[in-house]
Amino acid sequence: MLVVMQAHASEEQVRAVCQKIEAMGYRAHAMPGAQRTAIGITGNQGEIEPGTLEEMLGVQELIRVSKPYKLVSRDIKQDNTVIRFAGTEATIGGPGLAIVAGPCAIENREQAFAVAERVCRAGAQFFRGGAYKPRTSPYSFQGLGEQGLQIMAEIRQQFGMKIITEAIDQESLELVEEYADVIQIGARNMQNFSLLKRAGRCKKPVLLKRGMSATLEEFLMAAEYVMSEGNYNVVLCERGVRTFADHTRNTLDLSLVPAVQRLSHLPILVDPSHGTGKRNKVTPLSRAAVAVGADGLMVEVHHQPDLALSDGMQSLYPEQFDELMVQIRQIAPVVGRTVPGIGRQTPAVTARPPRTAAATPAAD
Amino acid sequence: MLVVMQAHASEEQVRAVCQKIEAMGYRAHAMPGAQRTAIGITGNQGEIEPGTLEEMLGVQELIRVSKPYKLVSRDIKQDNTVIRFAGTEATIGGPGLAIVAGPCAIENREQAFAVAERVCRAGAQFFRGGAYKPRTSPYSFQGLGEQGLQIMAEIRQQFGMKIITEAIDQESLELVEEYADVIQIGARNMQNFSLLKRAGRCKKPVLLKRGMSATLEEFLMAAEYVMSEGNYNVVLCERGVRTFADHTRNTLDLSLVPAVQRLSHLPILVDPSHGTGKRNKVTPLSRAAVAVGADGLMVEVHHQPDLALSDGMQSLYPEQFDELMVQIRQIAPVVGRTVPGIGRQTPAVTARPPRTAAATPAAD
Amino acid sequence: MLVVMQAHASEEQVRAVCQKIEAMGYRAHAMPGAQRTAIGITGNQGEIEPGTLEEMLGVQELIRVSKPYKLVSRDIKQDNTVIRFAGTEATIGGPGLAIVAGPCAIENREQAFAVAERVCRAGAQFFRGGAYKPRTSPYSFQGLGEQGLQIMAEIRQQFGMKIITEAIDQESLELVEEYADVIQIGARNMQNFSLLKRAGRCKKPVLLKRGMSATLEEFLMAAEYVMSEGNYNVVLCERGVRTFADHTRNTLDLSLVPAVQRLSHLPILVDPSHGTGKRNKVTPLSRAAVAVGADGLMVEVHHQPDLALSDGMQSLYPEQFDELMVQIRQIAPVVGRTVPGIGRQTPAVTARPPRTAAATPAAD
Amino acid sequence: MLVVMQAHASEEQVRAVCQKIEAMGYRAHAMPGAQRTAIGITGNQGEIEPGTLEEMLGVQELIRVSKPYKLVSRDIKQDNTVIRFAGTEATIGGPGLAIVAGPCAIENREQAFAVAERVCRAGAQFFRGGAYKPRTSPYSFQGLGEQGLQIMAEIRQQFGMKIITEAIDQESLELVEEYADVIQIGARNMQNFSLLKRAGRCKKPVLLKRGMSATLEEFLMAAEYVMSEGNYNVVLCERGVRTFADHTRNTLDLSLVPAVQRLSHLPILVDPSHGTGKRNKVTPLSRAAVAVGADGLMVEVHHQPDLALSDGMQSLYPEQFDELMVQIRQIAPVVGRTVPGIGRQTPAVTARPPRTAAATPAAD
C-alpha cells in the first residue's frame, strides 16, 4: 500500500499518517518528493485493510501494491504446470497444444457420437459437451444432466478422447467429477466461491473460464480459491469479455495469454466460440490464439448447427474444423508447439485462401 | 427475429431465406425497402434458435426482436409489486422508501448491535449485514456464518428492523431462509442459475443484485429465474457496473432505475456503497438515487470503519448516515415518496453545506 | 513511480534497479517488505518516462504515482472557480445552479425563438443550440453555421440569456468566440489537442465535455491543455460514457461530480440528454444530477421533437422542462444551492407523481 | 427501423403507429406475432429520425435496421481495395502484408536513421514516425513538427520506404500531405469530422485509426466521411479499445479484422504497440494479427527505448523486430499472404522458443 499525500500537506499531516500506520501494526516509509510526499507501507502479511487512512487530513490517494495471489504465481513455482492424463499422450500446458472440441450441449447419443467421430478424426484429444447448461433464460434447454455425462463416458470409451464438461453447482459437480476427466467451471460461476472451493477438493483437473468482466487479478484469485483447497491442476481459459463493442458477442482478449504466462505457471486455453459468438469469426480467432501462444483451443463443433438446441450460430461445421486443424498445424511450430492428435490424421486440405468477399460468407 | 438482407441480394436469395424460415416452422414477412429487403419472423413461442440463417447467401445480419422475459414484465402485470412484511409498516416498492443499512459483515455481537442501534435510530427499517461473504481472496475474512445470522435475529427482536442478508450457496440459503426476512443474492451470483432456482422455491422475498457486467435484459432474466419457480417477491438492486472508469470501484448506473420501472413491475433499490467503493461518494450518490426515483437505498454503515474486517473504506460513519437521512427526507417528497422509519426520529440536523474544498475531505 | 520487485528478486537485482534509477537522474527509495521489495522514485519534475525499467531482471511491475495535472488541481487553487458574466447574476460554479437549455441544433429562427421563449420563462439563464454539429454520418444535417450563431446572438439580445455553443475546428472556433458567451468543446474533440490549445487562447470561458471513454485523469488533463494556454475559465461537463450497457445511449457517470470536486476547483455540469439519449430518462437523471451536487445542468429542449433535425428522441417538451425546473427548485436547497433564473417564474406546477406504469410512458 | 409494440397493445394503437409512420412519409408493415406486433418501416432514403414514435401509446421499443454507411460497404464495391504506391511493389490490401515500423516520435536525425536502417533491413516497406504527437499532457514532448517531416523525407530518399505519419489538425495536415506517402489520422481524432473531411480532399491515402471506444459502425462511418469527399484510398487500423481490463493499456480487438472484412472492401492493419502498451506483448499480438488475417502491421521500434521521448515502454528493440519478421514470414502463408520486404533479407534467425518463465521477461 502506498499513501500519496496532497502537494500542500503539512509535515504534521505526514507525521500523523505515519503514526496511524504504525498504530495499525505496519511500518511507514515516508518519501518526500519534489511535488509531494508518498508513504510506503510494509510489514503486512496479507492485504492491508486501509480503514480510514484515505480520510485523514492531507491524504490524496491510496495505491495498492501487493498482489494477493500466492499459489498461482510464478513467485511460488517458476516452471510451467503441465497436466497429464493417464493412458494418453495428451497434456495441457506441455509442448503439444491441447485441442478441445465438441458440441455446445449434448443433445442425444446420435448427435454426440456424430460430432465426436469428426473432431476425433481431425485431431482433437479432448471432447467437450454440456450436460448442465447455464442458460440466460429459464425457458431454454438446460441440458440432459447425468444422461449427457453417460453419453460422454461412452465417447471416451470408444474414441479415447478425454472428457471436459461443466459443473454448475455442488450436485452436478459430484456427478461431473465421477464421469469426466476435467471439470469445467463456467464464466458465470468464476466468482461462485463455494463452487470453487468444492472444486478445489476434487481429484480431477479444473478448467476455469474467465468471468465476463474479470480482471486478470480476479481471474487468478479465482484459481487461487481452487488451489487453496489443495487441487493444483487448474487450467485457465479466456472466452471473451464484455465491452461496448457489438460486432461480436464478447471481445476476445488475446493479450491475456502472454499476461497470464508472465505472472502464473498455470496453462491457459482460448475459447473463440464463446469469445466471438459468430461462426465466421471462430477460425480466424483460433489461428490468432495459437499464434499468440495459448496452450490450446476450446472450440464448438456441430454436425447440424441448424438443428442445435443451443449456440448453433457459433458452432463450426466439421469440415471447417478439419480446415482449422490444418491451419493450426502450420502455425504451431512458429511458437515452438506441436499438434499431437490421437485420431487418424485428416487427409491434406489446402490452406485457407486469402480474404474473401462478403458475397460468400459461408466460405469464411 | 428480423433478417436483414444485403443490398445486392437477389430475389431468389430472399425467397430461399423465406422458405428456410417456413421450413423451421415460422412465418416469414418480406419487406422490400429502397435499399434492401428485411424479413420479419413471427409464429415463434419462445426465442428463435437462428441456426444457420446468418450463413445463407445474401443475408447481412440477424436482429433479435422479442424479449425473452415474461413474469417480470409489465406486459404481464401492470401495477407495481409492493412487498409487505407482517407486523410492520415497512414495504419495498410502496410509497415509503425502503432504507436498508448496516455493516458490510457481522463481525461480532457488539459491533452489530452498535451499528444497529444507530441506523435504527436514524430511521432504517431494514438491517443488512453479511454472515456469508463472497471475498475475492480465499485468505480474507469469510463471515461468521450461522452465528452471524443468530446475531441478526436478535437485532430484529430488539429493534424491530427486518433482516436482509446474503446467501452464497444452497447450504447457506437454507439457513438464511430460516433466519432472515429477505434473502440477498449477490452480484457475483446473479447468473448462478441453480441458486436462483432454489431461491425461487423459498417463501421469503429475494433481493437480487445486478451482476457487474449484466445488461438490463440479463438482470431481468435472472429475476425471471426466481419467479419462474413461484417466488414473485423479487427486489432488484443496482450496485454499480464495471467500466473503464477508475475514480470509483464501480460505475453506479442510476439510469437503470427508470429503465427497470418502464419495463418491469418489480421494485428497485440502489446500493451506493458498493456502487462507488468510496465513503466520500456514498452520500452524494444516495441523494441522487432517491432523486432518480429508486424505491430505496442499501447503505453500509460502521461505527468504527478503521477496524472493519471488510469494506471499511466504503462504510459511512453513523453521523454521516444521520445526515444522509436528513437529506433524503427532504428529497423524497419531490418524487412523491415518504421516508417512514421505525425508530425515533433523529433530532434536526442542518442540511449539507455546499461543495467543500479538498482540504477538508473528511467532511465530504 | 513505484517499482515493485518480484518476490524472489535477489538483492543484486534490487541494487541494479536502484542504480538504474539514479543513473536516470532520480532518487531511489528501496522498501523491503515481508513478501517483496518496492522501490519508490522521487526527484522527478514531471512524469517519469520509465524506458526499460520494467524489463529489468527481478522487476514485477511499475506503478505510476504522481498526477500529471497542475493548474486544474486543488493543490494549486483551493477555492472553487466561479465564472461570472457581465450584466447578469448568472454564474457557473457559484451557489446558484447554472441551467443551460435549448435545442440540439439551431434549425431556423422560428424554432430557436420558440424554444428560447419557453426555456427562458422556465428559468434557464443559458441558451444552448448547435450551429456546428458533429454528426456520425456525413449525410446528416451538419448545422446552419454562422447563420445559427447570428440567431443565437439575437436570442441573447431579446431574452438576456447567455449563449453556449460548440466549436468543432479552428475556423468555427473563431466565429463562436465572436458570437457566443461560452465556447463548447464537444466529447469527440476532448482530446483534439490543437483545438484545446486554441481555445486556451480565447478570452471567453470554455465548456469542455468529457470524452466517451475518458478517465477522470484524461478529462482533467484536457482542461489542463486549455488552462496551460492562459484561459482559466474552464467548465467541465459529464455527458455519459460508453459501456456495455444498452438500455441508454451512454452511461451517465454521476460519481464523476464528487470526484472532480475533490480533486479540482473547476465547476462541473451534467448533460442528461446526451447522457441517456432517451427523453423519458432525462428528467429523473436531471434530478439526480442536482442531488449529487453538480454545479448545473445542460438539457435539450425542443418544442416539436417530432420535427427535430437531430436528437429528437432525447429532447424534452417545453412542458416537461417546466416541470423539471419545479422539481430541481425543491432539491437544490438540500445541497445548499439556489436556482436563480432570469425569466419570469413559472406558475406553480405540481410535483411529479410517483413512478408511473409503462402504459403511459409519455407522462414520464 | 422496426417498431416493437407492447404485448398488450391494442389494435387501435398499432393502427395509430402505422398512420404516424405513413404521415412521416414512409411505409408501415405490421407483422402480428404470437406475443406482440412488430411494425417494419421502409421507404426511407437515409436514416429515419424517429422523433416521438417511441413515446406513442403501446410502443415498447424502436430497433434500427438500416446501416448508414454506403461507400465503405461491400454493397457498393465487392472487391478488396488495394492501395498501390508508385515506384515500389509495396501495397496495402494486396496479397503482400504491409509492414509499417518505426519509432513513436521522430526525435532527431540520428535516432530516426538508426531505427530506419534496422527496420528496412528487417523487411519493413513503410516507415512510421510522429512529427506531431497528440500527448495527454501539454507538458510532454509534442514532436519536432516540420523538421520531423523533413527527416522522414530523407529516410524515404535513402531507404526507399514509404512514409506514414500523423496529422493532428488542418495546419499539420497540409504539411503531412506534402511530405508523406500516407496521412495518418489518430485514434483521438477519429471523430474530428472537420479533419476527416479535409483529409478526404487530399490526394494521398489516409490511414485511419479506430477511436478508443468506437464501435465498428462508427469506425466505418469515419471512413465514410473521408470517402464522401472523394478520397477512396482509406486504410483502417485497429489499435486497441478501452475496457475495464488493466493488464494492458488497451484491449486489442482482433475480431474487428474479420468483421471489417465481411462488411467493407477497405484494408485493415493492426497496431499491437498501442494495442497493448507493453513491449513484451507486442510480438505475440503481432503474430496473432497476421494469423487473424490482417492486411499488415504497424509496430513501434526504437534502438534505445530507454532514451525514447515517448512510449519507450511499448517499443520493440530492433533485434526483437528482426525476430518478429522471421515469425510472421512463417505464419503469412497459412492465410495466403506473403511478406515482401524491400530491404535485404535478414539472416536466418531461429523461431521463438516456447513460453518462457517470468524470471527472464526480457527474452519475451
What would the pLDDT profile of A145-161 be if each residue is shown by its tens digit?
999 999 999 999 999 99
Share of chain B above pLDDT 70, in %: 91
**B218 φ/ψ angles, rounded to the nearest 5 degrees:** -65, -35
Averaged pLDDT, B194-213: 97
CA distance B358 to chain C (A): 5
Residue with cell 480431477: A204
Q: Region of D143 please: left (phi>0), alpha (psi -120 to 50) or beta.
A: left
The C-alpha R_g of chain D, in whole angstroms, comes to 24
Lowest mean pLDDT segment, chosen from A22-36, B109-123, C179-193, C222-236: A22-36
Q: Are both B30 and B89 inside the same structural domain?
A: no
What gap in Å lies between CA A242 and CA D206, rounded to an integer? 31
Residue A67: predicted pLDDT: 74
Q: Are both A48 and A105 inside the same structural domain?
A: no
Chain B: residue whose CA lies nearest to C268? B355
Q: pLDDT, tens digit, for every residue of D73-127?
A: 988 888 999 999 988 889 999 999 999 999 999 999 999 999 999 999 999 999 9
DSSP codes joined into one string, B222-235: HHHHHHHTT---EE
Nearest to D40 by CA among D14, D95, D9, D2: D2
* C163 located within any domain: yes
Question: In total, how many domains does chain B have?
Answer: 2
* A71 located within any domain: no
Lowest mean pLDDT segment, chosen from A347-356, B42-51, C333-342, D298-307: A347-356
What gap in Å lies between CA D338 and CA B202, rounded to an integer? 64
Residue D359 has pLDDT above 90, yes or no: no
Residue B219: predicted pLDDT: 98
DSSP codes joined into one string, A118-180: HHHHHT-SEEE-BSS---SSTTS----THHHHHHHHHHHHHH--EEEEE--SHHHHHHHHHH-
Burial of B117 (0-12, 13-18, 19+ CB in 10 A): middle
Residues sharing a CB contact under 8 Å with residue D65, sequence separation 6 or more, in sequence order: B2, B4, B38, B63, D1, D2, D40
HSE value, Cβ hemisphere, 13 Å, CA-based, for C339: 29
Q: Are both C46 and C192 inside the same structural domain?
A: no
Q: Say if residues B285 and B251 touch (Cβ distance below 8 Å).
A: no
> D: neighbours with 3+ CB pairs under 8 Å?
A, B, C
Nearest to B257 by CA among C272, C56, C165, A238: C272
- B77 vs D contacts (CB less than 8 Å): none
What gap in Å lies between CA A183 and CA A235, rounded to an integer? 10
* B73 located within any domain: no
Share of chain C above pLDDT 90, in %: 67
* D69 located within any domain: no
- D32 vs B contacts (CB less than 8 Å): 42
* C109 located within any domain: yes
Q: What angle, 0 to 180 degrees and rounded to 10, lies between the N-to-C axes of helices B318-331 and B109-122?
A: 30
DSSP codes joined into one string, C270-285: E-HHHHH--HHHHHHH
> C: neighbours with 3+ CB pairs under 8 Å?
A, B, D
The answer to whether A284 contacts D257, with C-beta atoms less than 8 Å apart, is yes
Secondary structure class of C56 (helix, strand, coil): coil
Averaged pLDDT, D8-12: 88
What gap in Å lies between CA A331 and CA A335, rounded to an integer? 7
Secondary structure class of B34 (helix, strand, coil): coil
Q: Are both B34 and B87 inside the same structural domain?
A: no
- C56 vs D contacts (CB less than 8 Å): 362
Residue D364: predicted pLDDT: 32
- B95 vs C contacts (CB less than 8 Å): 354
Q: Are both C124 and C259 inside the same structural domain?
A: yes
* Full-model pTM: 0.88
The answer to whether C287 contacts B284, with C-beta atoms less than 8 Å apart, is no
Is the CB of D51 inside 8 Å of chain C's CB atoms?
yes
Residue D47: predicted pLDDT: 65
Q: What is the DSSP letter of C163?
A: E
Averaged pLDDT, D30-50: 76
Residue D65 has pLDDT above 80, yes or no: no
Residue, of D7 and B166, whose pLDDT is higher: B166
Residue B354: predicted pLDDT: 41
Lowest mean pLDDT segment, chosen from B267-276, C34-43, C177-186: C34-43
The answer to whether A51 contacts B307, with C-beta atoms less than 8 Å apart, is yes
Q: Are both A91 and A59 inside the same structural domain?
A: no
Query: Which of the four pLDDT bands, split at 50, 70 and 90, describes residue D181?
Result: very high
Residue with cell 470517402: D227
Residue C47 has pLDDT above 90, yes or no: no
Q: pLDDT, tens digit, for every residue of B67-116?
A: 788 899 988 888 999 999 988 889 999 999 999 999 999 999 999 999 99
Q: Are both B52 and B87 inside the same structural domain?
A: no
* C346 located within any domain: yes
C-alpha cell at B239: 450496485
Chain B: residue whose CA lies nearest to A58? B359
Q: Are both D149 and D258 inside the same structural domain?
A: yes
The answer to whether B138 contacts A197, with C-beta atoms less than 8 Å apart, is yes
* A74 located within any domain: no
Residue B356: predicted pLDDT: 38
Domain containing D146 equals 83-363
- As a whole number, the mean pLDDT across chain D is 89
Query: Which of the four pLDDT bands, split at 50, 70 and 90, describes residue C342?
Result: low
Q: Say if residues D150 and D132 touch (Cβ distance below 8 Å).
A: no
Q: What share of chain C is helix, strand, coil (3-state, %, to 5)?
A: 35, 20, 45
Q: What is the DSSP letter of C68?
A: -
What gap in Å lies between CA D151 and CA D248, rounded to an integer? 32
Residue A38: predicted pLDDT: 84
Residue B305: predicted pLDDT: 78
User: Which runs of E-coded beta strand occur in chain B?
Assistant: 2-5, 27-32, 37-42, 59-63, 83-84, 91-92, 98-102, 126-128, 162-166, 182-185, 206-209, 234-238, 268-270, 296-300
Q: Are both B98 and B198 inside the same structural domain?
A: yes
Q: Are both A50 and A164 inside the same structural domain?
A: no
Query: Which of the four pLDDT bands, split at 50, 70 and 90, describes residue D132?
Result: very high
Query: Which of the four pLDDT bands, split at 50, 70 and 90, describes residue D154?
Result: very high
> B: neighbours with 3+ CB pairs under 8 Å?
A, C, D
| CATH code, domain with C331 | 3.20.20.70
- As a whole number, the mean pLDDT across chain C is 89
Which DSSP helix (H) or strand (E) runs through B216?
helix B216-228
Averaged pLDDT, B334-360: 56
* C134 located within any domain: yes
- C-alpha dihedral over A70, A74, A75, A79, to 10 degrees? 120
What gap in Å lies between CA B268 and CA B282, rounded to an integer? 18
Residue D328: predicted pLDDT: 97
Is the CB of A338 inside 8 Å of chain D's CB atoms?
no
Straight-line distance from the first to the last Cα atom of chain A, in angstroms, rounded to the nearest whole number:
50
What gap in Å lies between CA D328 and CA D291, rounded to an integer? 8
Chains A–D, number of C-beta pairs less than 8 Å apart:
190
Q: Say if residues C331 and B291 touch (Cβ distance below 8 Å).
A: yes
| CATH code, domain with A53 | 3.30.70.1140
Q: Are both C296 and C194 inside the same structural domain?
A: yes
Beta strands A83-84 and A91-92, pairing class:
antiparallel
Q: Are both A56 and A115 inside the same structural domain?
A: no
Residue B87: predicted pLDDT: 83
Query: Which of the four pLDDT bands, split at 50, 70 and 90, describes residue A361?
Result: very low
What gap in Å lies between CA B344 and CA C1, rounded to an integer? 52
Bridge partners, A46 (sequence order): none
